[in-house]
Structure 1
Amino acid sequence: MYFVKVYIKTKMNTKKYYMTSLNNFYNMFWVKTLISVLFLFFASCDVNDVGYSLLLSIQIFRIEYIYSKYSLKYY
């Protein structure tokens, strides 16, 4: 009976851990940045504006990186 209890407890803990790690993954700045970069890149993707949109994306990535580096926790 003891082993069953321990097994169930560990199962619950691992499930909880996976859920929190998933949430952390979604909250990480670079995932959000990647989404915003891709959105920006494809939103302004004319033939002439590809270079400009790429530059803009890089600038936004840098701003987000600096913000996340110096803020205490991820937003």
Structure 2
Amino acid sequence: MTRFLTLDDVAEELAISRSQAYALVRNGTLPAMKVGGRGQWRVERSRLEQWIDQAHADTHRFVTDHPFTGQLDDEAE
């Protein structure tokens, strides 16, 4: 298992597009670094795993704080 992932690898792991993975990196949501003469982005596998764990925790907190009432937000207005 490699230590560093390309944006294509990250996109595959998260089942998102490469452009979405790039956006996560560029807006600072997902820690990454540029390597090589062409400055290609790399995400450390352990950082991706930490990010995924945090996303799970954030989602759990959101769901707990905002229980589903069976009514969509659009219907509440």
Q: TM-score, normalised by structure 1?
A: 0.35
Say which one has the larger Rg: 1
**TM-score, normalization: structure 2?**
0.34
